[in-house]
Amino acid sequence: MKVLVASRNAKKLEEMRRILAEHMTTVEVVGLDDVTPFDEPVEDQPTFEGNALLKARAGVVATGLPTLADDSGLCVDALNGMPGVLSARWSGPALGSKDGQDDRNNELLLAQLNDVPDERRTAHFACAVALVLPDGRELVVEGRMDGRVIREVRGSGGFGYDVLFVADDRPGLTTAELSREDKDAISHRGRALREIAPLVADLLA
């Protein structure tokens, strides 16, 4: 049995495969680069759930495989919940490498929060993971990680805004400074995937 994870982000795919493997040892998880290319939908929905379902539905239609997709982002209280669903393209359309886009997004976020005092730099990561099966069944779960945005980039692990985010559950370290195991244990995506993985295994069985 194969399950498609509708993503090309290598670091995200590695993270999702690692967590799903705890519950789905007999299922092969493939990414978008492992299947015949198809027209991927524009992520134009106003919610994480909407975008996750959009991508998962497109994957099922194009490949016939059960498809998992996630949408996630950083929601900053001082910015009224933004970047939110715009997190990946906060600094504008993607130009060049994914790492370059991450750097631009982080620079813009730091600039926007420059005058915000530390006590008001609270934020959370949110994630919605959707499963769509070829028979039309759909399932969505959500995960959340609370914390705050610091004032300088720290760490070399993770991706996206991890270098700026300190989780309440691991004070003192950015999520880019945590081990993979520590991050998986507390992250928004880790929580959502651990909830949905056994449900996926049951549905596929």
Q: At what angle do helices 188-204 and 10-20 cross, to 10 degrees?
A: 60
Determine whether 71 is an active site residue. Answer: yes
> Which of 71, 135, 168, 184 is flagged as catalytic?
71
Consult the annotation and say whether 2 binds a ligand: no
Q: Say how far apart CA 94 and CA 19 lie, in whole Å.
A: 28
| Integer Cα distance of 48 and 51 in angstroms | 5
Provide the CB-side half-sphere exposure for 167 (13 A, CA): 19
Is 162 annotated among the ligand-binding residues? yes
Is 159 annotated as belonging to a binding site? yes
Pick from 45, 81, 40, 84: which is nearest to 63 by CA? 40
Is 77 within any annotated ligand binding site? no
Q: Cβ distance 36 to 24 under 8 Å?
A: no
Q: According to the annotation, is 71 in a ligand binding site?
A: yes
Q: Is 179 annotated as a binding residue?
A: no
Residue 80 among known ligand-binding residues: no
Q: Determine the Cα–Cα distance for residues 122 and 135; give it in Å rounded to an integer.
A: 41
55 belongs to an annotated ligand binding site: no
> Does 180 count as an annotated binding residue?
no
Positions marked active-site: 71
Which residues participate in the annotated binding site for substrate?
7-12, 72, 159-162, 183, 188-189
Known binding residues for Mg(2+): 71
